[in-house]
Amino acid sequence: MTFNLETLIRPNIKALTGYASARDDFKGEAKVFLDANENPFPSDFNRYPDKEINHLYNKLADLKGVAMTELLLGNGSDESIDLILRAFCEPNKSSVLCFSPTYSMYKIWAEVNAVAVKEVPLLPNFEWLPALALDNLDPTTRVIFICSPNNPTGKAVAVENIAKLCSTFKGLVVVDEAYIDFSSVTSALSLLKTHPNLIVIQTLSKAWGLAGVRIGLTMTSKEIVSILNKIKPPYNISSANARAALKRLDKVADYKSEIALILQQKESLTTQLSLLKIVEKIHASDANFLLVRFANSTLVYDYLKSKSIVVRDRSKEEGCQNSLRISIGTSQENIKLMNALKKIEL
């Protein structure tokens, strides 16, 4: 049996006619807008977002080397995860697969949508292989979520292994590449043309420095995009956010130099942390954070908190006992972190 998208779409979504604004229907250059009950007096934001969204789609499609019809923008990539579940998973019938530890929102959104979650532990050292997925499928599995580089482990998945999974699994494979800009592995975007069941999610929240702007990218076949488009809210990206993103996307040199600085800082922090007696293991990271195992993570976490330094406690996650996830900050922030950690050793 080959991949058949039609059999995966929920019947109610297949039957749905999505919302279309009058401006979606109108072709040409409109001069008078009396279609959307807006306030006609000009201000920065009196119109629903339209032109700038189109511009943003154009720019991001170009940047990522996909067609505009193969791209869907969401209010953060978290919105895409929810849309995929709502389009392709039948509540109380379908299930999804993810690997632990990983980004918690796959499970949370699945639970919100009454979709069962099978969590498969990663291999030792947080390795991922296609067999981890293929050996754990059942007839209800509709979607597999892979996070690469993975949060919180930092480890990326080889694109060849994603290709193997896509070729064998007959449901949808979602690869969340929130941290791909920090990594040297090949993006799964390179597989889109040959694997119709692949959905790649990226975000402007991390390397592009736009977490406050909330823009996520979903890149996949135009058929899948058109299904997701039917269920997304009509104007899910605001004009304000689109303008902020367009401004930043013009600053490619800043984006590149900030990534280089973050990677430099990651290396330096890794060296400094490895000299501390309280540190037991630093996991190699393809992302902008480090997962660090301490002798006693609660003590470290509480001490850092008392010094107004917030890190992420991951000690309750599968295979992450005594581990904290530490984002790479500026050199000044990293110095503060190291000074505090050194005090614990005294």
Ligand X SMILES: Cc1ncc(COP(=O)(O)O)c(C=O)c1O
Binding site for ligand X (CB under 6 A): 76-78, 103, 147, 151, 176, 178, 203, 205, 211, 216
Rank residues 95 and 153 by Cβ distance to ligand X and give the closer one.
153
Rank residues 70 and 176 by Cβ distance to ligand X and give the closer one.
176
Q: Which two tokens stand for residue 313?
A: 């406690």
**Nearest approach, Cβ of residue 76 and ligand X (Å):** 3
Integer-rounded Cα Rg, in Å, for the chain is 22
Nearest residue to ligand X by CB is 76
Determine contact, residues 219/199, Cβ cutoff 8 Å: yes
Write the DSSP string, 145-180.
EEESSPTTT-PPPPHHHHHHHHHH-SSEEEEE-TTG
Task: From 191, 188, 192, 213, select the one nearest 203 (Cα to Cα).
Answer: 213
**Nearest approach, Cβ of residue 217 and ligand X (Å):** 9
**Nearest approach, Cβ of residue 80 and ligand X (Å):** 8
Q: Which two tokens stand for residue 48?
A: 């629903």
Rank residues 147 and 279 by Cβ distance to ligand X and give the closer one.
147
**Nearest approach, Cβ of residue 77 and ligand X (Å):** 4
**Nearest approach, Cβ of residue 247 and ligand X (Å):** 18
Helix runs in the chain, H state only: 5-8, 11-15, 22-25, 51-64, 77-88, 105-112, 130-134, 159-168, 222-231, 239-249, 252-274, 297-306, 331-345
Rank residues 179 and 301 by Cβ distance to ligand X and give the closer one.
179
Rank residues 101 and 216 by Cβ distance to ligand X and give the closer one.
216
**Nearest approach, Cβ of residue 216 and ligand X (Å):** 4
Please state, in angstroms and rounded to a whole number, the distance separating the CA atoms of residues 314 and 325.
6
Read off the amino acid at residue 156.
A
**Alpha-carbon distances of 306 from 301, 302, 311, 313, rounded to whole Å:** 9, 6, 12, 15
Rank residues 106 and 294 by Cβ distance to ligand X and give the closer one.
106
Residues 6+ apart with CB under 8 A from 179: 149, 151, 154, 206, 207, 286, 287, 288
Rank residues 176 and 181 by Cβ distance to ligand X and give the closer one.
176
**Nearest approach, Cβ of residue 19 and ligand X (Å):** 23
